Amino acid sequence: MGGYMELTARSACDIVDLLNRGEVTPLDCLDALETRAATVDGAVNALPTLCFDRARDQARRLMQRPLGSRGRLAGLPVPIKDLTDVAGVRTTHGSTIFADHVPQTSDILAETIEAEGGVIYAKSNTPEFGAGANTFNDVFGVTLNPWNTNLSAAGSSGGAAVALATGMAWVAQGSDLGGSLRNPASFCGVVGLRPSPGRVASSPGATIDRLLSVSGPMARSVEDTALLLDAMTGDNPEDPMSLPRTENFLAAARSGWRPTRIAFSADLGITPVDPEVAAICRTAAARFGEIGVVVEEAQPDLSEAHDTFQVLRGLSFATNYAGLLERHRDKMKPEVVWNIEKGLSYSMQDVVRAENNRAAMFRRMSAFFDTYDLLLCPATIVAAYPASERYVNECAGYTFSNYVEWLAIAYAITLTTSPALSLPCGFTGDGRPVGLQIVGPARAEGSVLAGARALELILDLRSGTPIDPRSPG
């Protein structure tokens, strides 16, 4: 095996194979990532909290077990988003309120990954409480896009996406409410999968019946994403939403399944989209025709998405953070304050309307998949924008009314519970990555992964990462 660059450039599946054969050790992997992080993270700020000593202790314990019996990840290192507790590791939630917080216990999700042989070595940067699709906070600062370090990495899993794109991670855990996995995957040229609610168990917070926010895998390829999903899944009695493990998702991704008929929509009928982004995604979707797939322009009726998401997101923020607002308003960014106060202002009538509309959207989406195997659309409506801008204010001549409205093409899918994957599908004329969103029926992650891999092989963009951070000019 060559130097650390050769190792970090390999796929996660390759590394796991090497680990299972004993050709590299988990300690070798950690050494490679520590060297790579020391080389590039200063330019992008993706992994602000490192815990290599803890990781090496974990790796040594894992290495006491025989080869082939060290879990699905076999000692593969994994960074965890700074919204998720890891025992003994500083976990800030991107907030100065928790700047010195060191949890004593881990979230169910972190425990699951470690039980499957994942070695946690870092926390990836996130905006305050994961709010807003631009990764910056007052604890660690801004995470920058490695394709152009003047640009945003999106968010809220921006640190995870940048770590992947720069070779500081083979796989990464993220979370997604209104596109928090899909947006940074799109901006950074990697893969991010939002799974169905319950697919990945996590520790309940203020509510136990979460349908909006889920955790999911990110990686540089579809196969590697499926590998991590397999290590994240399974039911847990401490999470009443969690689903049993019923499928091998890596096997599904490699199955060779391909859709018969897919739909493409540039805007889902609900949002402006940058014309160049729309054209890149349409061209990529059309290439399914090269393997005999029928591609048609169509979309389900998701017209209630804006109002429904604003109410349910507001309700979620109020439920989770109203107490913190009472005690720490001065430490919260204005967008979070707005979201909490908006949630507190809604009436029961507003909540009833939103829940009824969400149910109607779910039924329409389910019926849509009676005709189409997959739905394709842009993962984001723009490519990466300047990191100095807190959020996207306008697109294609339309000015947004608030800081999350530009995310509608992602949050509309969230409301339907459908699994959705962002796949790198091309670049703008000035070299910014663009992601194509691939959506499947509820709980059909296997079909989404298999369809995404089929298109990934056609597009052949997998060699684009990892990259060294690139300064403009």
Q: Where in the sequence numbering do the catalytic residues fall?
A: 81, 156, 180
Tell me the C-alpha distance between 202 and 240, whole Å.
10
Identify the H or E element spanning 313.
helix 305-328
DSSP state of 236: B
Burial profile 393-405: b = 16 or more Cβ within 10 angstroms, e = fewer: eebeeeebeebbb
Name residues whose C-beta falls within 8 Å of residue 158's C-beta, 6 or more positions apart in sequence.
Answer: 46, 124, 125, 126, 127, 134, 135, 143, 152, 184, 187, 188
Question: Residue with structure tokens 């000692």?
Answer: 75
**Lookup: tokens for 179:** 């596109």
Q: How far apart are the first and last CA of the chain?
A: 35
Tell me the C-alpha distance between 187 and 117, whole Å.
29
**Lookup: tokens for 335:** 């967008």
Handedness of CA 22, 25, 29, 35 (dihedral sign): negative
Tell me the C-alpha distance between 367 and 370, whole Å.
5
Query: Peptide bond preceding 447: is omega within 30 degrees of 0, i.e. cis?
Result: no
Name residues whose C-beta falls within 8 Å of residue 250's C-beta, 6 or more positions apart in sequence.
Answer: 13, 223, 226, 227, 230
- At residue 308, what are phi and psi to the nearest 5 degrees? -65, -45
